[in-house]
Structures are given as C-alpha cells and as structure tokens.
Amino acid sequence: MKFKIINPDWGMTEEQMEQRCRILADYTNRRIQLSMECLAKTKVSLDSLADLVRAGPEILQMAIQAEQEGYDAVILYCFSDPVMEACRQAVSIPVVGAGQAACLLLPAVAYHGALLVADQNRIPEKRMSLSRTGLASERICGYEPVHARGLDPIEHRGQLKKELLKAGQRALEHTEAQALILGCLSFLGLAEELSAGLMVPVIDPGPASVCLAETLVCMHLRSSPRAYPPYPHF
Amino acid sequence: MKFKIINPDWGMTEEQMEQRCRILADYTNRRIQLSMECLAKTKVSLDSLADLVRAGPEILQMAIQAEQEGYDAVILYCFSDPVMEACRQAVSIPVVGAGQAACLLLPAVAYHGALLVADQNRIPEKRMSLSRTGLASERICGYEPVHARGLDPIEHRGQLKKELLKAGQRALEHTEAQALILGCLSFLGLAEELSAGLMVPVIDPGPASVCLAETLVCMHLRSSPRAYPPYPHF
C-alpha cells in the first residue's frame, strides 16, 4: 500500500519531507509506504484563500499524477483540505483531507473539542470551512491561536511545544473543550506530549489522515461517483 | 494489539462469533487479534430501547472485564452504540461504537448518505440516535428498511444480499444518497458486493469499527476524562 502526501507549501527540501514521513510512519502500519511531494511551480505557502486558489491547479495535477503512478490514496497535507472535492472528481483512488480526517476523529474520544490554529486572523474562515468536514458544528466549541509563526516543527520543536501548551491551556480554561485538535499540519508530532501535559486527547491531523487513508483502502471504499462525478477531460 | 468485540445479542454460538471475526479480520491489519463475546446473562437481542436498557449493565461489565484482561480497545457490535458513553467512563482504553464508526466515515467518500435499517418501526429512534455520533445531521438524507427479519448474514447470505440490493436501489432512487451505510451489524460482509451492484460506496459498520479502534490505538488516543469522567466505584 503506498500513499502520496501532497504538501501544498512550495519549496520544502527532500530532507524536510522525509523527516515528516518518518514521524508519520511511527503512527501507522509498517506495510504502508509514504511519499511526500510539495508544490514545485506555484510559489506559495497556504496562508490565505488567495494562496489556495493559486495552488489549486497544481494540487489537482499532482493528485492525477499520483493515481497514474499507482498510488493507493492521496493525502492533502493541509488543515484547509485544499481542493479536496475537486481531487475526488479527478481521481478514483481515495482522497483524504487532513483537516477532515482530524475532525472526524473527535467524536470517538470526546463530545466537544477546540481547534488550535496557526493564524488568529483566519479563525472566521476556519469556522466556515469546518462545515465541509461533515462534523456536527456544535462539536467544535472554540478556536485558540498559537503564536508560532515561522516555527518549524522539527527545528524549533521545544519552542513550538511551549506555545502549543499555552494555547491548549487557554482553550481548556475558556471553553468547554474536552479534547484538542491541532489545526495546522506544522504542529506535527507533538500531540502525545501535549496530551500528557494537558490531560486531554490531542488529535494530530497528519497521523489522522494516514490512518483514514489506510481505513478507506482496507475497506475498499472509494469516493462516490454520485457525489463527485468524474469530468471527461481528466 | 487485541480488541474485545462485545456483541449485545444473547445466545450466539462460539462458531458464529468466530465466523464474524474471520470476516472482520479480512478488512484489517493481520497483527490485530479479534475476540467476540456475546451477552451471557441478559437474554435479549437488541431490538428495542427496553432491550438496550436491560442489556446495559452486562455490556458495561464486559467492557470493564476486557480492560482488566489487557485488551487494547472495546468495540460495541451494534449500530445503536449501546451504553457507549458509560463504557467510556468505566474504562480507560478506547471504546468504539460500530454505528458511530460507520457514520464518521461517510464524509470521507460522499456528501450525503442513506441508512439501510433492519426495522422500519425504529427509524424515528435511529434518527434521534444519530445526533450522538457527531456526524452533521444533514449528511443523512434517508432511511430505507430492509426486509430481512430472521436472516442470518452467513446462513442466508444470498437472500439477505438480494433484500439489501433492493433496499439500496430504493434509497438511491428516492433520496439524494450518494453512498449507503449498513445500519445493522447483521449485514456484515456484504458491502463490497452491494457497492459493485449499486455503483456507490457502501459502508459496513463492522470493519469500520475495527479500523477506527486500530486508528485510536495507533495514535495513542483515549477517551477524554473531561468528557467521560471516571466514576470512583468502577
């Protein structure tokens, strides 16, 4: 079983992507081969709706190529699940959005959860986009910004963890959250330590996305052609 | 990794339970050991809310015993997710409801789905109980009864499949469903053939529950003690 992880941030090095795959592999079945690829032509990191629109065509093309190369599933490695539905039209293998995968795990461990987000200014946009995940909206009871701009999850691990702990603490104090969801893929690999510190489940969207892809492949589930009708020109 | 599957129907034979475990094992990781156990004292099959109340104490006790015996997760093998939240209070290992597990997979493959149910009279009750799953309610667009009372999924496989195909066809004709969810654990093992016949994804709650349990264990996620506070007398 091999999964293509599409990272919609331009300019990541091979080594950075391999590091992320190694962390993800710890949370999943050893039979699965993970391969990450980032934007090569569209020079954006996904930090706004405009970035998302600009990156869309390249992401779609990467998904189509992954299917042609024999991958069993495509994972969109961004909490905004960029162009997820369009990818489901374009390919017949499962397409998993990391944000959706994380949100759909919440009710398995708690009633209510809060989202820790990388950018305070984008909270209203996040709230809107959550309706796309299929999670009942009342299950998300708060959004807490993490002051972590520019912090790399591997290089600045200690500082990032400190900021996430503070944000998690604030969410647990000020909302009815019983669990936390890491609302950005840059927070990779810190959920377990945060959970031990904060005494609530912390859902990491990276591992959640790989596990959901494995579930779909094991159960032979593919996107519904009634929901995502294939376009003839793909 | 070993999972205890609690089957809340009284009087199943060892052989019947092993057959079900063999079917489930085909959909999951070979490392996982599945062990099914049914009600031994409470002589009911879960066919009403009263049955559910009567079976509750024994199910809870079985979950507690599974934890004591070193199981890594408990699976409630009934679409009603009987006493799921109480079990999450009683044990610290993950507790997965098969109904919840199936519903939370729907948005990964379609926008809308219809539920194929074993008993027409219990549709209003099913509708109410779906809010407990955490799936946004608008994602379920229909309920279709299957005329299958008394049909065993293994002994009467052919007839059961025929009835499920008819019910699925009706759901796809009369609702906006783009995928189907098998709303009873007695429909085990038929999803793939139904999907091939009906050309939409068909979600089988049995495999869905085992895969979700595996995800929770791999991600080291446990029920939130803030959501399900442990009682001191357990």
Q: Say whether pLDDT at A59 is over 90.
A: yes
pLDDT < 70 regions, chain B? 233-234
Instruction: Test A101 with B108 for CB contact under 8 angstroms.
Output: yes
Q: Do residue B25 and residue B61 come from a single domain?
A: yes
Q: Do residue A12 and residue A54 come from a single domain?
A: yes
Instruction: Test A179 with B224 for CB contact under 8 angstroms.
Output: yes
Encode chain B in three state secondary structure: CEEEEEECCCCCCHHHHHHHHHHHHCCCCCCCEEEEEECCCCCCCCCCHHHHHHHHHHHHHHHHHHHHCCCCEEEECCCCCCCHHHHHHHCCCCEEEHHHHHHHHHHHCCCCEEEEECCHHHHHHHHHHHHHHCECHHHEEEEEECCCCCCCCCCCHHHHHHHHHHHHHHHHHHCCCCEEEECCHHHCCCHHHHHHHHCCCEECHHHHHHHHHHHHHHCCCCCCCCCCCCCCCC
Q: Do residue A45 and residue A17 come from a single domain?
A: yes
Task: Residue B69: name the closest of B37, B22, B30 by CA.
Answer: B37
Is the minimum CB–CB distance between B207 and chain A shorter than 8 Å? Answer: yes
- Residue A183: φ, ψ to 5°: -90, 25
**What is the pLDDT at residue B234?**
57
Best residue in A219, A222, A228 for a mutation probing chain B (most B CBs within 10 Å): A219
Instruction: Test A134 with B135 for CB contact under 8 angstroms.
Output: yes
Looking at residue A42, which CATH number applies to its domain?
A: 3.40.50.1860
Q: Do residue A76 and residue A154 come from a single domain?
A: no
Residues 50-89 of A with CB under 8 A from B: none
Contacts of A137 in chain B (CB under 8 A): 136
**What is the pLDDT at residue B36?**
98
Task: Residue A17: name the closest of A56, A9, A119 by CA.
Answer: A9
Contacts of B101 in chain A (CB under 8 A): 108
- For chain A, percent of residues with pLDDT exceeding 70: 99
Q: Do residue B79 and residue B142 come from a single domain?
A: no
The band of A151, judged by pLDDT with boundaries at 50, 70 and 90, is confident
Q: How many CB atoms lie within 10 A of CB B107?
A: 24
Q: Is residue A48 part of a domain?
A: yes
Q: Do residue A111 and residue A92 come from a single domain?
A: no
Task: Residue B191: name the closest of B160, B212, B151 by CA.
Answer: B160
Residues 99-128 of B with CB under 8 A from A: 100-101, 104-112
**What is the pLDDT at residue A234?**
58
Q: How far is B117 from chain A, CA to nearest CA, in Å?
A: 20
Task: Residue A23: name the closest of B226, B23, B11, B219 by CA.
Answer: B219
Total domains in the fold of chain B: 2
| Close Cβ partners of A207 (under 8 Å, ≥ 6 residues apart) | A24, A27, A28, A191, B218, B219
Q: Is residue A233 part of a domain?
A: no
Chain centre to alpha carbon of residue A76: 6
**What is the pLDDT at residue A233?**
62
Q: For the residues A76-101, what does the mean pLDDT come to? A: 97
Task: Show the domain range for B87.
Answer: 2-97+209-218
Three-state DSSP at A198 gives helix
**What is the pLDDT at residue B154?**
83
Q: Say whether pLDDT at A153 is over 90.
A: no
**What is the pLDDT at residue B231?**
78
Q: For the residues A172-178, what does the mean pLDDT come to? A: 96
Q: Do residue B131 and residue B40 come from a single domain?
A: no
Question: Which residue among A139, A199, A207 places its CB closest to the CB of B134?
Answer: A139
